[in-house]
Amino acid sequence: MMGKEDSMENLSLEDDEKFTSISKSYSNYRSAMTCLSDSHHPLSPSIVDDSNDPLLVSSIQSSAIDDHDVEQFQNPTIISPPLNLEYLNITVSDPHKEIQASPSIVPGTNAYVTYLITTQTNLPDYGGTDFTVRRRFKDIVTLSERLSEGYRGYFIPPRPDKSIVESQVMQKQEFVEQRRLALEKYLHKLAAHPLIKKSDELRVFLQVDGKLPLPTTIDVASRVLDGAVKLPKQLFGESGNLIVPQDVVHPAKGGRDLLRLLKELKQSVANDLGASNSSIDEEDKDFLKNKERLHNLELQLSNASKQAESLVKAQQDMGDSIGELGLTFIKLMKFENERATVNTQRERAADMKNVATAAVKASRLYRELNSLTVKHLDILHEHLSLMLGIHHAFSDRSSALLTVQTLISELSSLNSRAEKLETATSKIFGGDKSRIRKLEELKDSIRVTEDAKSCAIREYERIKVFDIKPLCLKIIKVR
């Protein structure tokens, strides 16, 4: 197939000069079905800065955002803002390959690319105006994880994905440039976020040169392994089996406490079956309505993405087929010219040349059309990727509510056990020392659980007050 396409591009046809620019502009085009090691999927996130995206908004409390913040969040790449307005401009440039000292004997595994991140700002939180640091993609991952933990319940723009074939394509300039633009776009979104732009995490990331001082998050596998080791001791009472106040601000799904995860799973099943005795339920009708509308929007975007992929593939196939037809007529034309003995054969050869010329030009036009289609469909993939951040915000709110419900149920169970034990102890003259000791332990557990419940309710209320409605309205407008 590549040979045929090269032949098509090198044909010397009449009026071909009109299509030279088209042919050149398509020289970097890649098929929608090519592997990631050669290029990115045509529906993958755009490497072009698309700053006027109506989806770049936060699910935070609307009262905390003034009109300027909203305008700046919608236009994150303002280059020359008025002096009296706050701004945070970030550029990513100068990718540089570095080698990390390591005993690995596999060539290329120690190589990574760093990027020069330049910041210009007048925000007083930064204590300066110009900063320059070098960061690698691993630092971006750390920043994203710290923001997710520190701003639980907020809508946080998702970071660029790490390519699964990075080790194979790291040396390719096209991949490095694509990564650079994706990182710059991600940082623009963070800089436009009304709260994250002033966060300590982002400030440290942009200001402190050298190794990023932010603590890395323990990977999920390690947390689950630690939780699995601790679980038998919790089940047999050798270790604390209560949810302590300092843990309720973290989601159970992180794997830190598998016993808590099992308790919340049990509570979730009870909620689904209508057997929950919790006095707290999700009563925000607007939130539930907007959540349903966003779910429907995601389904429509997913369906549109599938249709778009089919369209790109169909246009590619059409261009290839017409191109092959043109090459076939070229061969027939040459055959007729070589074997021509009468004028009718020469006339047929001329007609074949006209058909071949039209077919090859049409094939080139189809390729250009496909390239433009892919470019304009990038925004669709961008919206789909933002839905992931919205899901995380919704999940944090649901998880916080589930923690409260679990603690209420556990507290009810502990109080019931304490009442039964106290009644049984009162019937014994002089009391039962072992039962009295168990009763004191239960009362201590009740106090700890009460404190944990209070912390969990405060955490849920903190997340609950975030006004998701502006986010929903702006996203629904895309429909």
Sheet containing 88-99: order of strands: 88-99, 111-121, 130-136
Q: CA distances (Å), 442 to each of 121, 242, 421, in order?
A: 55, 11, 9
pLDDT of residue 197: 87
Residue 332's φ and ψ, nearest 5 degrees, are -65, -40
Yes or no: say if 319 and 370 are a contact pair by the CB < 8 Å rule: yes
108: left (phi over 0), alpha (psi -120 to 50) or beta: left
Whole-model pTM? 0.61
How far apart, in whole angstroms, are the C-alpha atoms of residue 354 and residue 75? Answer: 50
How far apart, in whole angstroms, are the C-alpha atoms of residue 407 and residue 267? Answer: 10
Radius of gyration (C-alpha) of the chain in whole angstroms: 31
Assigned token pair, 295: 């779910």
Assigned token pair, 439: 């009763």
Yes or no: say if 435 and 425 are a contact pair by the CB < 8 Å rule: yes
Residue 99: partners with Cβ closer than 8 Å, 6 or more residues away:
110, 111
Residue 348: partners with Cβ closer than 8 Å, 6 or more residues away:
336
Average predicted confidence (pLDDT) for the chain: 72
How far apart, in whole angstroms, are the C-alpha atoms of residue 38 and residue 174? Answer: 9
Element (H, E) at 119: strand 111-121
Superfamily of domain 62-207, CATH level 4: Phox-like domain (3.30.1520.10)
Side-chain-side CA neighbours of 367 within 13 Å: the count stands at 25
Enumerate the domain spans of the chain. 62-207, 239-286+390-476
Per-residue pLDDT band for 50 (boundaries 50, 70, 90) equals: very low
292 has pLDDT over 70: yes
pLDDT of residue 179: 86
Q: Which of 156, 183, 182 is nearest to 73 (CA)?
A: 156
pLDDT of residue 239: 55
pLDDT of residue 59: 38
Least confident of 1-10, 24-33, 207-216, 359-368: 24-33
- Collapsing DSSP to helix, strand or coil, 447 comes out as helix
Over residues 138-162, the pLDDT tens digits come to: 899 999 888 888 888 888 888 888 7
Yes or no: say if 450 and 411 are a contact pair by the CB < 8 Å rule: yes
**DSSP labels for 169-214?**
HTT-HHHHHHHHHHHHHHHHHHHHSTTGGG-HHHHHHHH--SS--S
15 has pLDDT over 60: no
Provide the percentage of residues in the chain whose pLDDT is more than 70: 62
What angle (nearest 5°) sits at the alpha carbon of residue 465, between those of residues 460 and 470?
135
Over residues 338-347, the pLDDT tens digits come to: 877 778 888 8
Assigned token pair, 239: 């270790």
Q: Buried b vs exposed e over 222-235: b needs ≥16 C-beta within 10 Å?
A: ebeeebeebbeebe
